[in-house]
Amino acid sequence: MRIAAGATVGALQAALPLDPLENRILLCHALGLSRVGLITQSHRALDAAEAAALGALVARRLAGEPIAYIVGRREFFGLDLRVTDAVLIPRPDTELLVELALERLAPGAALLDMGTGSGAIAIAVGHTRPDARVSALDASEAALAVARANAAAHAVPVRFLHSDWFGALAGERFDMIVANPPYIASGDVHLSEGDLRFEPMAALTDHADGLAALRSIVAGAAAHLEAGAWLLLEHGYDQAAQVRALLAAHGYSEVQSWRDLSAIERVSGGIRV
């Protein structure tokens, strides 16, 4: 999109063809301004380089690219996290999984986050509970590089492992396992819509019925959980009953589901007997 040099910050906030919030985010990012700066510098005129840079960002958004990938950041559980197209964009619904984990995590407990992506869950837990011993794994080296950078930026000590689910754990046991695995079924129309078009496919779908990764985790977790430890799983909007059935079939107790901010059963879990 072409933006003329000399246009002012205030005029652009009203004129850019995006949602007002997205207009503000891209203006701040392109010009290095804070939200307060958008107000105090509303009469500032953009030079040619600034106009070109902003125009390029707006064009990317108009083509559908997620704001988080354009600016390279996303807030999660009060933390500013780096994101790239190697990882899923952290979403507010997943904060429920963090809250449930924090409520059930004993002092000094060992927690494992499976399929960590940007590290959002593991880092949020470790940042809130410095006493916890947090490990996180992912099958993607590119994702782990993002997660390590985020952990370092927030000075949260997380042990990261390159592993396809339980492959690198070598008999280790934990006091809690949490996971937000790929749970969208292959061919689901949502994969070709909105932000999902730009996110890593391997982190979105199991290329099967949407339950393959969940089955693998439920089947393998007991060998890596201490007795009395929780397994907590995020899943799709219509998968709660199936995940509860999986947990019950593998002998977990106190099996239940919890609703997110949209009143959707988003997380299910149980206790290893």
pLDDT value, residue 89: 97
pLDDT above 70: percentage of residues in the chain: 100
pLDDT value, residue 50: 94
Q: What integer is the mean pLDDT of 15-33? A: 93
Q: What integer is the mean pLDDT of 71-100? A: 97
| Mean pLDDT of all residues belonging to the chain | 96
Q: Is the pLDDT of residue 161 over 90?
A: yes
Angle of CA points 192, 194, 198, to nearest 5°: 70
State the pLDDT confidence band at 180, using cuts at 50, 70 and 90.
Answer: very high
Q: What integer is the mean pLDDT of 194-215? A: 95
Q: What integer is the mean pLDDT of 154-178? A: 96
Q: What integer is the mean pLDDT of 81-96? A: 97
User: For residues 189 and 161, what is the distance between their CA atoms, to the nearest angstrom?
Assistant: 32
User: For residues 241 and 167, what is the distance between their CA atoms, to the nearest angstrom?
Assistant: 28
pLDDT value, residue 74: 97
Q: Which residue has tokens 């754990």?
A: 169
State the pLDDT confidence band at 266, using cuts at 50, 70 and 90.
Answer: very high
- Say what the pTM is: 0.93
Q: Is the pLDDT of residue 129 over 90?
A: yes
Q: Is the pLDDT of residue 4 over 90?
A: no
pLDDT value, residue 51: 95
Q: Is the pLDDT of residue 2 over 90?
A: no
pLDDT value, residue 130: 98
Q: Is the pLDDT of residue 1 over 90?
A: no
Q: Which long-range contacts (CB under 8 A, 24 or more apart) does 163-171 make?
A: 163/137, 163/138, 163/139, 164/139, 165/114, 165/137, 165/139, 165/213, 165/216, 165/217, 165/220, 166/220, 166/221, 166/223, 166/224, 168/137, 169/112, 169/137, 169/224, 171/223, 171/224
**DSSP 3-state of 8:** strand
